[in-house]
Structure 1
Amino acid sequence: MPCRQSFDTLVPTVLVRLDRNPFHHGTLGAARSLGRAGIQVHAVVESPTSPVARSRYLRSVRTRPGTDSSAELAALLTRIADEITDNPSHPVLPIPLDDVSALALARRRDRLSPRLLLPEQTEEQLLRVADKAALAGTCAVLGLPHPRTEIPTGADEAAAMAWALGLPVVAKWSRPWLLPAGGGLRSTSVLRSLAEVRELYARSPEAGSRLLLQELLPAGRDLDWFFHGYVDTQGRCITGATGRKERSWPDGAGLTAAGRWAPNPTVDRTARELLDALGYRGVCDLDFRLDRSTGAYHLLDFNPRPGAQFRLFADREGLDVVRALHLNLTGRPVPPHSPAYGRRFVVENYAALSHLTSPRRRSTAEHGTGDRRTEYAWWAPDDPMPALAMGRAWLRHLLRKALTAHGRLFGSGRRRPPAPPAVPPARSSSPHLTPR
């Protein structure tokens, strides 16, 4: 069957990722998706030695700016556009692959257009969903199910709120892209004691944004779902699909280690109605969890850019949200997205950790029906070098973590006695607080 996608291969793409994570497989997926379509692909990543830099589909790799300044990023992209095109008016398509990049490009959109092709989004519009506190408020305004969320202003209040929500609780930093590199702070964590709540709140000054405490919805088989979509310049979600998270890392509360393309009309309808209500444009990645006690799907996260596992939703002709973005912003028609239910996506390094810690099957889904293809995040027969580079880097990463843990445990020569348990505050009878 001939491919119905007709790309303008004269418009090059620059993948932009400002975070320092060398294991971001979504960057590699975008390089392969567009490169296989004959589009010239360049990248701005954390290091020229990044595993993704070994991909045969990348024409060049630049190192991210020293800071997350939108001005520095805009200047870098302008220089790259001048280097990779002969005509100073020739368009170039930048694709942000993390939140900070998406926000930085939206902030500079008026100055970068029309040379750089970007969806019609402002930074303020993206912050309504990228900022975790703002997302809670957005859901409250729109009546969309969302886990109960509290925003403490002190350590004692944080402990009281956590106790009222019920331990364990989910802790999130409102703007995780502001977290300092190497500080040991995670964007999301599960806290199981009031001592952990107090300790994490005490680190608020270094986190750069507010700490949120959320009710932990019970995890379980087939409860975690995601939606990936692309909304075109006319406001139509022309490419969108739902998938089920089968394995995650960390288990039960982390990123997708293995997922399957599966129909979920409720999640699909909810996501599309939300995008329409927001007037959203561009690529998005939404995470949901089903609350079995109410039957409601709660929106957990909204990422205003391609999700790392977006390649799960590549149909038989290779159409995915990144290709849809390129087609639409270069004025080409986007063909209908054909469902491939049953198709799987596996992230090798995280799936291995998930199997080690939780060998049981995470899904009761039918096996061997529908589309039986599996795409791996790192390994591809036509592009093997990134997987080999990732394997070496991953082993070094695990060794460093093991040595660090060993040093913390035995560095002082003897283990300290455990601290006495914290005395929980009395349960509050005050009404639930919601962010404004």
Structure 2
Amino acid sequence: MSPLDTRIPAVLLRIDRNPFHHGTLGAVRSLGRAGVQVHLVADDRESPVRRSRYLHRMHQPPAPGSPPAEVAAALRRVTRHLTAPAVLIPLDDAGALAVSALYAELSDRFLLPRPTGDTAERVADKASLARVCARAGVAHPTTVVPESAADAVGAVARLGLPAVAKWSRPWLLPHHTGLRSTTLIGSPHEAAALFERRDEAGSRLLLQAFVPGARDGDWFVHGCAGRDGVVRGGGTGRKHRSWPRSAGLTVSGTWTENRELWSAATRLITSLGYRGVFDLDFRRDAATGDFHLIDFNPRPGAQFRLFADGTGTDVVRALHLDLTHRPVPAPHPLEGRAYVVENYAPLTALRALALPGPREPSPPGELAWHAGDDPGPGAAMRRLWLRHVTRRLCDAVVRRSRRVLALFSFRSGPRELAPAVVPGQKKRADRPESVPSPTREPR
């Protein structure tokens, strides 16, 4: 029998257009396997998630950048297909902030954590997060918000290179710009160039000191703060691989107990009065040993399934249990459990799928896409990923070819040529050599 109340459906919300968001599939499978009816409000074009046997129905999402009123309208349309108030779980920052702002309007139709003021917005915004950390006494990289390109250059000079550039509200980044939420920069010129693109980005540019991490020095903490403020579910994990490297999402990680980090994270959550699921990213300073809070995401992290414990409880299930007034099972940690996103770390995934052999006993790991009981999304992802990679390679070849042709054209541009001399004809000394003017065409 499922510990979850299967009479209460779940509605997952993701406004960001990203067909490769594996956290969405993880939430669909987690709740669906427990017998919960799962509705997904997300873009379904080419989405591998729509192939999941555990997904009941997909719904049209609001457009990226939509005001809260349009998000509310999209969610109201979903309620026409529900038989009871549903647990509402946003899966990206834009959705989390909209749901927090709309609590009073949505709470009669959905079950959701009661927000504490503007906490979700303050921790999601990278600029205000620095102030939150300062007040809470949590280590955080030195952060500068430049007011001009010259300020950006000066900030990099003070912070040192490499430095980290972030957009304060990355959920506002348009896809067509090619801008990343986080970039490792290696020169003052790069910082100035990014500052000049702030209008495209839609939010302020932040420059942060790069925290030199030790080997495997990147950590993350996931949890769910219940209605009573107690953190349940989740755990501490170590990031082994990320994409992009050193400044991106976790593509390979393991559940690794770290009591010091867990204690620091839960103290921060308690001090903020935060309620709901959270995902915190930390980096351990190789020189001082301090854990610096790098990011605070007020929603499930994409790799949250790493922390599915021995009872099957993860942070998404913990939230459903808490909001339906059911007890969350006592924790049963599976230290050493691994999680791999196979489209970003294929070799690591292949090792995880290798035939059993002599090895140290460890808890069963999980791949983001491949699942024996739900093969559809994995197969669809592989086809879509192949097209994506092929398109990126073709675009790269075209860009490289254009640069080579432009360089060749520059080097072999127009030159002054000597006139041809007919054999037996002497050059005229009283007339300068020149290229004859082209004959005009008759009009």
Fold shared, TM-score > 0.5 on shorter chain? yes
Please give the per-residue CA displacement for 1:173-230, whole angstroms capped at 9, x wherever unaligned: 0000111122111100111112211111110111111100011112442201100000
In 2, the alpha carbon distance for the partners of 1:162 and 1:202 equals: 15
Aligned match for 1:77, one of 71, 75, 78: 75
In 2, the alpha carbon distance for the partners of 1:15 and 1:229 equals: 18
Aligned to 1:364: none
Q: 1:392 to 1:121 in 2, by over 3 A?
A: same
**Equivalences for 1:5-404 in 2 at 5 Å?**
6-67=3-64, 68-85=66-83, 90-121=84-115, 124-352=118-346, 369=360, 371-404=362-395
RMSD: 2.0
- Partner SS state of residue 66, structure 1: coil
Please state how far the C-alpha of 1:316 moved relative to its aligned partner.
1.8
- Give yes or no for contact 1:48–1:62 (8 Å, CA) kept in 2: no
Please state how far the C-alpha of 1:44 moved relative to its aligned partner.
1.1
Q: 1:123 to 1:18 in 2, by over 3 A?
A: farther
Q: Name stretches of at least 5 consecutive residues in structure 1 with no aligned partner.
A: 360-366, 418-436
Aligned letter for 1:62? H
Please state how far the C-alpha of 1:398 moved relative to its aligned partner.
1.1
Aligned letter for 1:334? V
In 2, the alpha carbon distance for the partners of 1:261 and 1:188 equals: 25
Q: Name stretches of at least 5 consecutive residues in structure 2 with no aligned partner.
A: 352-357, 409-443
- Give yes or no for contact 1:247–1:354 (8 Å, CA) kept in 2: no
Please state how far the C-alpha of 1:140 moved relative to its aligned partner.
1.0
Please state how far the C-alpha of 1:78 moved relative to its aligned partner.
1.6
Q: 1:297 to 1:368 in 2, by over 3 A?
A: farther
In 1, the alpha carbon distance for the partners of 2:407 and 2:210 equals: 31
Aligned letter for 2:372? P
- Give yes or no for contact 2:232–2:315 (8 Å, CA) kept in 1: no
Aligned letter for 1:31? V
Aligned letter for 1:135? L
In 2, the alpha carbon distance for the partners of 1:297 and 1:265 equals: 12
Please give the per-residue CA displacement for 1:233-283, whole angstroms capped at 9, x wherever unaligned: 011112231011111112222111111001111110110000000000000
Q: Which has the higher contact order (CA 8 A, sep 6+)?
A: 1
- Give yes or no for contact 1:257–1:354 (8 Å, CA) kept in 2: no
- Partner SS state of residue 266, structure 2: helix
Q: 1:66 to 1:250 in 2, by over 3 A?
A: closer
TM-score (norm 2): 0.87
In 2, the alpha carbon distance for the partners of 1:370 and 1:18 equals: 40
In 2, the alpha carbon distance for the partners of 1:62 and 1:318 equals: 27
Aligned letter for 2:388? H
TM-score (norm 1): 0.88
Tell me which structure has the larger Cα radius of gyration: 2
Q: 1:368 to 1:298 in 2, by over 3 A?
A: farther
- Partner SS state of residue 96, structure 2: helix
Aligned to 2:436: none
- Partner SS state of residue 343, structure 2: helix
Moved more, 233-242 or 267-276: 233-242
- Partner SS state of residue 183, structure 2: strand
In 2, the alpha carbon distance for the partners of 1:352 and 1:248 equals: 13
- Give yes or no for contact 1:231–1:283 (8 Å, CA) kept in 2: yes
